[in-house]
């Protein structure tokens, strides 16, 4: 039995990495997936692939810096499917920066997407879910938000700490509307963004990419970094009826790096 049959899900930043894995898993589990992605080529490509594989998918170009885009996204979801059962707030940005290198421009860029965009997507989706009697929100945070010291930069860590806090407050505020809100906190995960950060560390340390990756994997108790699918598997559970009484939690998927 498909666990998300006849559900409608929005996945932000679904063009690549974790978002793409989540969207693909959801489609296989029977959900109609709305790919909210700023990169038009990536979004259309994934939507086409999911449809060719027998799934239901729509691409909506969405810039989370623009609240008007978030409103337009929800309007289009309503027009296409008439409801919204699941939101996965996955879209995020970062780059490798030393503590003293973080500029105001870096801070605003990171927090506009990772914090402001996440909240207003959550708020807009919750308005729809409230009217229809419930839904599931899954925020992709990070162990950086719990103080993981090898984070890409302090502004990113702050944005992910905010995502965890907003998940908890959101769960408390929305429980009376039968809306579950949870966060997934990935550890080291091999996405395009991960390799961008690795290239930044190559430049700042003078070490090779292979050396940096090997050292990271060696620091993980299970001795392996995540693949995007490791995150997607948990995202399916949290969006399913199996997790109907799970809310306000921040789940680590990190091979044992963090314990809280």
Show which residues are catalytic.
156
CA 212 to each of CA 216, 222, 251: distance values in angstroms, whole numbers, following the listed order: 6, 17, 26
Name the H helices within 89-208. 104-111, 118-132, 154-174, 192-205
Residue 213 sits at φ, ψ, to 5 deg, of -65, -40
The tokens of 4 are what? 């998300």
Relative to beta strand 250-253, strand 56-61 is unpaired
Residues 6+ apart with CB under 8 A from 40: 59, 61
């Amino acid at each position: 039995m498909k666990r998300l049959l006849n559900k409608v899900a929005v996945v932000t930043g679904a063009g690549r990495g974790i978002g793409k894995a989540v969207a693909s898993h959801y489609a296989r589990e029977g959900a109609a997936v709305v790919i909210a992605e700023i990169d038009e080529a990536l979004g259309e490509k994934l939507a086409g692939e999911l449809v060719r594989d027998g799934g239901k998918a729509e691409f909506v170009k969405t810039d989370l810096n623009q609240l008007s885009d978030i409103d337009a996204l929800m309007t289009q979801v309503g027009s296409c499917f008439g409801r919204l059962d699941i939101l996965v707030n996955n879209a995020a940005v970062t780059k490798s920066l030393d503590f003293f290198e973080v500029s105001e421009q870096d801070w605003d860029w990171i927090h506009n997407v990772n914090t402001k965009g996440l909240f207003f997507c959550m708020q807009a989706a919750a308005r729809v879910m409230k009217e229809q009697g419930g839904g599931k929100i899954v925020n992709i945070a990070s162990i950086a938000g719990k103080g993981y010291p090898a984070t890409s930069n302090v502004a990113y860590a702050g944005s992910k700490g905010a995502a965890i806090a907003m998940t908890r407050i959101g769960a408390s505020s929305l429980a009376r509307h039968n809306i579950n809100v949870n966060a997934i906190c990935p550890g080291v995960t091999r996405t395009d963004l991960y390799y961008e950060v690795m290239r930044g560390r190559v430049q700042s340390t003078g070490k090779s990419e292979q050396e940096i990756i090997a050292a990271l994997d060696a620091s993980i108790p299970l001795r392996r970094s995540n693949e995007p699918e490791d995150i997607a598997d948990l995202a399916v559970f949290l969006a399913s009826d199996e997790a109907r009484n799970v809310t306000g939690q921040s789940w680590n998927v990190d091979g044992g790096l963090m314990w809280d």
